[in-house]
Amino acid sequence: MIGPKIIQLFVLQSVFLVLGFCLETDTISFGLYIKDPDTIISRGQVFKLGFFTPDNTTNRYLGVFYTVSEKTVIWVANRDKPLNDTSGTVSISDDGNLVLRNGNNEIVWSTNATTSPMNNTSLQIQDTGNLSLRETATGNKIWDSFSVPSDVFMPTMRIVDNINTDKKVVVSAWKNGSDPEVGRFTAGLEALNIPQIFTWNNGRPYWRSGPWNGQILIGVQDMYSPYLDGFTVVNDPPGTFYFTAPEGKFLMKITLNSSGSLVQTLWDDQTKNWDITWLAPQNECDIYGTCGSFGNCNAQGSPICSCLRGFEPTNRDEWERGNWTSGCQRKKQLQCGQGGGDGFLRLPFMKVPDFAEQFPSGQEVECRRACLSNCSCIAYAHDPNIGCMFWRETLIDVQQFAGVGVDFYIRLAASELDNHKDKKLIIIIPVVVGFVSVSALVIIAWCWMVKAKDKRIFEAGQTFSSDSNAIVLKDESERVNIEELPLYTFETLANATDQFNETNLLGKGGFGPVYKGNLANGKEIAVKRLSAASGQGVEEFMNEVIVISKLQHRNLVRLLGCCVEKEEKMLIYEYMPNKSLDVCLFDPTHPSQKVLDWKKRFSIIEGIGRGLMYLHKDSRLRIIHRDLKPSNVLLDEDWDPKISDFGMARIFGGNQDHGNTARVVGTYGYMAPEYAMEGRFSEKSDVYSFGVLMLEIAWKLWSEDNGLAFADEAIASPDFQGEIVRCIHIALLCVQEFPKDRPTIQTVLSMLSREIVDLPAPEQPVFAEKWNGTNMGSTQPMSQVGFSTNELTVTMLDGR
């Protein structure tokens, strides 16, 4: 008697489990249905399709949401037709469409994709979040939810602009937090002329990304690294442009929220939160056309709007009241060839205006010539990947950035250019003027202190309090006693470098040219001169002085002194006769090609490692370099490496071990993905750069048939191949995607010295994976590394 009852219970329970919770299936086929609150779940358990209720309402909607975060809805079916109760069902209808029915069995929503009756379709939810309706038998695609996005842009989704039919696939915001109905804001691609991303408010531009140059959107300040975040614009088939991003390891989404902000977030599995990694607009200047036609917006300015040089407010009263919408007008008409002609005014670090016309051309001079010869051209700019950009009629949505952006040239009557030569500086400087004066005061005060031979306590933490994005020395509590640093006079240095003669130019450092000099006593020095026009440099100059004056290690370049006189700011280093590592590695004519055999290269790797170790662990301060790359590694007469260029470095307090910055600085190929993408840096991001550097040092020797470098040594040491492979293996451990997987520099050194013998297997490096997913050109900095992972894996197995 008991038996059947148990079975009955068991069956009931199973039915309850299956229907009441979550159908452990990813597919709805004909004859099956799901009923509120059932869900189906994608195969990898990433997404669910089911019913949900937004905040502050009782309405029910059918949507797709994350398994880890069920409140986070990425797609809604019945956006404008809510269900008023929990009686909704979803099924495949007789005509093969996916339909949502209410309690009265009325169709509330349908995919509307087929018209003729068919019963052999099924709907599958995929791990990308895509719902895919297909013919079961043939697998033919009938409909998919990624082609009709709601308010979220997902990796692999395509935001389309067909310029032949003018059909767009856009993301459209909710009305408000409790109403998924299509609201005021939409976002999409505008591919006519040069592709740009737009947010529209009731169809009027609200935010603009600036042109896509094949790698980045050049009007987005914090978009640095094309292959790391992987966004791309594709034109395929011709005329159909789409913006997309590959699937990554993180859960990433970009939401257009109901107040018109595009918000990029990443799921943090530890805190169970969505971390905001980017958003637009970020300030009033990002809002389209804030300053009107011919107005220039500078978020750091006060007021933020000014007229472009050569223009004046159209309506001065309005303008002064802070209503900038009517913009500016030209003061002197263009001559266009008559009476003195026109010239161009260069504005650096700009977000270029809307309505650019493209003219592919390699050279900037060609752009200038073309613009000058056409009277309707009022401005031009040049981007190496786009070629020339020209503007006619109006210049709108112009923005002054700080340190990123392109050079933008506006055409002005020649008289306009001559009269105001002095004003040229004014346009460039406002951004930094405040900071320059503060820093200059600090430098002067400090050098004065040193001059007075007064080993005064220097409170580093206060130096930069004027700029929250600038260098913040975290050890504010720790007072740093700066070593005495000799001061050089401008005259001494001018004489030493033969008046900064071109022939003594060694190269360009982080913020200005570097000259070779000979002091009167015969000592050779290198002089880094802060270029006066560079607003960025001051910050880095101060940083470098502070950081480097506190360090001493045989693998770090030594600062001999500084010079601060009037406008001049210079740093004096010991001279490195063998230049920098990039010259040695990449210049085939450099004599080092012969000198740098594997043994030497290995000791260079170790030397850099030890320098880094000193920065991270051994010095009293903990320092993250943030811009480690071959050009920042100098070689002394014995080819011993010395890390230089501390302009970007950051100092950390004892127990702080990672930071975040709004301003990502550094060099693409060498930047760790978490730093390039999210501005998060740590010792592990330096390890990443070190890994890339090792690959470059070792791989080149390995991959090229570099007979000269191998010569004697190679034959003498049968183990050298194994050693190179080992180095490459260690390097691959350093460039793993997740910081936690990368070894510390200490471990790296132990591996190099074979204190640690067994090496773990590296994950596939992040760049290789993303690289394959996108159709980028071959001009990336990373191509210097020039290898394919597959090849490498095979080689490594063979090698060991």
Ligand X SMILES: *[C@@H]1O[C@H](CO)[C@@H](O)[C@H](O)[C@H]1NC(C)=O
- Catalytic residue annotation: 627
Rounded to a whole number of angstroms, the minimum distance from the CB of residue 706 to ligand X is 44
Rounded to a whole number of angstroms, the minimum distance from the CB of residue 78 to ligand X is 8
Distance CA 245, CA 773 (A): 9
Which CB atom, from 375 or from 595, has the smaller least distance to ligand X?
375
Indicate which single residue of 161, 179, 416, 544 sits in contact with ligand X (rule: CB under 6 A): 179
At 230, the amino acid letter reads: G
Rounded to a whole number of angstroms, the minimum distance from the CB of residue 77 to ligand X is 8
Q: What is the DSSP string of 119-167?
A: --EEEEE-TTS-EEEEETTT--EEEEGGGS--SEE-TT--EEEETTTTE
Question: Is residue 298 close enough to count as binding ligand X by CB under 6 A?
Answer: no
DSSP state of 566: T
At 320, the amino acid letter reads: E
Distance CA 240, CA 580 (A): 46
Indicate which single residue of 209, 261, 264, 296 sits in contact with ligand X (rule: CB under 6 A): 261
Which CB atom, from 180 or from 343, has the smaller least distance to ligand X?
180
Rounded to a whole number of angstroms, the minimum distance from the CB of residue 551 to ligand X is 40
Question: Is residue 204 close enough to count as binding ligand X by CB under 6 A?
Answer: no
Name the token pair of 497: 């470098």
Closest CA to 122 of 137, 103, 101: 137
Indicate which single residue of 53, 67, 72, 156 sits in contact with ligand X (rule: CB under 6 A): 156
In the chain, the N- to C-terminal Cα span, in Å, equals 68
Under a CB-based contact definition with an 8 Å cutoff, are residues 678 and 277 in contact? yes
E strand or H helix at 197, and its extent?
Answer: strand 196-201
Phi, psi of 144 (to 5 degrees): -145, 150
Closest CA to 222 of 262, 273, 280, 274: 280
Under a CB-based contact definition with an 8 Å cutoff, are residues 388 and 395 in contact? no
Question: Is residue 135 close enough to count as binding ligand X by CB under 6 A?
Answer: yes
Binding mask 421-460 for ligand X (x = CB under 6 A): ----------------------------------------
Which CB atom, from 274 or from 515, has the smaller least distance to ligand X?
274
Binding mask 67-86 for ligand X (x = CB under 6 A): -----------------xx-
Question: Is residue 271 close enough to count as binding ligand X by CB under 6 A?
Answer: no
Question: Is residue 193 close enough to count as binding ligand X by CB under 6 A?
Answer: no
- Distant-in-sequence, close-in-space partners of 321: CB < 8 Å, separation ≥ 6: none
At 6, the amino acid letter reads: I
Indicate which single residue of 14, 69, 86, 178 sits in contact with ligand X (rule: CB under 6 A): 178
Indicate which single residue of 182, 234, 263, 402 sits in contact with ligand X (rule: CB under 6 A): 263
At 345, the amino acid letter reads: L
Q: Three-state secondary structure along 616-638?
A: HHHCCCEEECCCCCHHHEEECCC
Which CB atom, from 258 or from 296, has the smaller least distance to ligand X?
258
Rounded to a whole number of angstroms, the minimum distance from the CB of residue 220 to ligand X is 16
DSSP state of 353: P
Residues within window 350-389 making contact with ligand X, judged by CB under 6 A: 357, 374, 376
Indicate which single residue of 150, 258, 644, 689 sits in contact with ligand X (rule: CB under 6 A): 258
Question: Is residue 202 close enough to count as binding ligand X by CB under 6 A?
Answer: no
The size of the chain, in residues, is: 800
Binding mask 83-122 for ligand X (x = CB under 6 A): -xx----------------x-x----xx-x-----xxx--
Question: Is residue 58 close enough to count as binding ligand X by CB under 6 A?
Answer: no
- Distant-in-sequence, close-in-space partners of 793: CB < 8 Å, separation ≥ 6: none
Instruction: Quickly count: other Cβ atoms within 10 Å of residue 719's Cβ.
Output: 8
Rounded to a whole number of angstroms, the minimum distance from the CB of residue 340 to ligand X is 21
Indicate which single residue of 35, 168, 175, 579 sits in contact with ligand X (rule: CB under 6 A): 175
Which CB atom, from 207 or from 511, has the smaller least distance to ligand X?
207
- Distant-in-sequence, close-in-space partners of 485: CB < 8 Å, separation ≥ 6: 450, 545, 549, 559, 561, 562
Per DSSP, the three-state class of 231 is: coil
Closest CA to 669 of 567, 768, 763, 781: 781
Beta sheet of 141-144, edge-to-edge order = 27-29, 121-125, 131-135, 141-144
Binding mask 386-425 for ligand X (x = CB under 6 A): ----x-x---------------------------------
Rounded to a whole number of angstroms, the minimum distance from the CB of residue 755 to ligand X is 47
Under a CB-based contact definition with an 8 Å cutoff, are residues 730 and 751 in contact? yes
Question: Is residue 314 close enough to count as binding ligand X by CB under 6 A?
Answer: no
DSSP state of 100: E
Distance CA 461, CA 464 (A): 7
Question: Is residue 592 close enough to count as binding ligand X by CB under 6 A?
Answer: no
Phi, psi of 291 (to 5 degrees): -100, 10
Which CB atom, from 204 or from 423, has the smaller least distance to ligand X?
204
Which CB atom, from 119 or from 788, has the smaller least distance to ligand X?
119
Rounded to a whole number of angstroms, the minimum distance from the CB of residue 414 to ligand X is 20
Rounded to a whole number of angstroms, the minimum distance from the CB of residue 199 to ligand X is 12
Indicate which single residue of 51, 65, 146, 380 sits in contact with ligand X (rule: CB under 6 A): 146
Stretch that binds ligand X, among 135-143, 227-235, 514-522, 769-777 (CB under 6 A): 135-143
Rounded to a whole number of angstroms, the minimum distance from the CB of residue 230 to ligand X is 14
Name the token pair of 171: 């993301």
Which CB atom, from 142 or from 608, has the smaller least distance to ligand X?
142
Rounded to a whole number of angstroms, the minimum distance from the CB of residue 581 to ligand X is 42
Which CB atom, from 185 or from 771, has the smaller least distance to ligand X?
185
Question: Is residue 478 close enough to count as binding ligand X by CB under 6 A?
Answer: no
Name the token pair of 522: 């015969």
- In terms of phi and psi (left: phi > 0; alpha: psi -120 to 50; beta: otherwise), the region of 629 is beta
Total residues at the site for ligand X (CB under 6 A)?
46
Distance CA 26, CA 613 (A): 50
Question: Is residue 141 close enough to count as binding ligand X by CB under 6 A?
Answer: yes
Which CB atom, from 134 or from 684, has the smaller least distance to ligand X?
134
Phi, psi of 264 (to 5 degrees): -90, 130
Q: Distance of CA 188 to CAs 244, 313, 675, Å? A: 11, 32, 27
Residue with the CB atom nearest ligand X in the bound state: 177
Which CB atom, from 110 or from 603, has the smaller least distance to ligand X?
110
What's the half-sphere exposure (Cβ side, CA atoms, 13 Å) at 599? 10
Distance CA 758, CA 738 (A): 21
Binding mask 317-336 for ligand X (x = CB under 6 A): -x----x-xx----------
Rounded to a whole number of angstroms, the minimum distance from the CB of residue 787 to ligand X is 29
Distance CA 711, CA 219 (A): 50
Which CB atom, from 392 or from 590, has the smaller least distance to ligand X?
392
Question: Is residue 549 close enough to count as binding ligand X by CB under 6 A?
Answer: no
- Distant-in-sequence, close-in-space partners of 86: CB < 8 Å, separation ≥ 6: 36, 37, 51, 60
Question: Is residue 539 close enough to count as binding ligand X by CB under 6 A?
Answer: no
β 295-297/398-400 pair status = parallel
**Neighbouring-strand partners of residue 65:** 48, 73
Rounded to a whole number of angstroms, the minimum distance from the CB of residue 395 to ligand X is 15
Indicate which single residue of 67, 162, 193, 257 sits in contact with ligand X (rule: CB under 6 A): 257
Which CB atom, from 124 or from 400, has the smaller least distance to ligand X?
124
Binding site for ligand X (CB under 6 A): 30-31, 55-56, 84-85, 102, 104, 109-110, 112, 118-120, 126, 128, 130, 132, 134-135, 137, 141, 144, 146, 156-157, 175-179, 257-259, 261, 263, 279, 318, 323, 325-326, 357, 374, 376, 390, 392
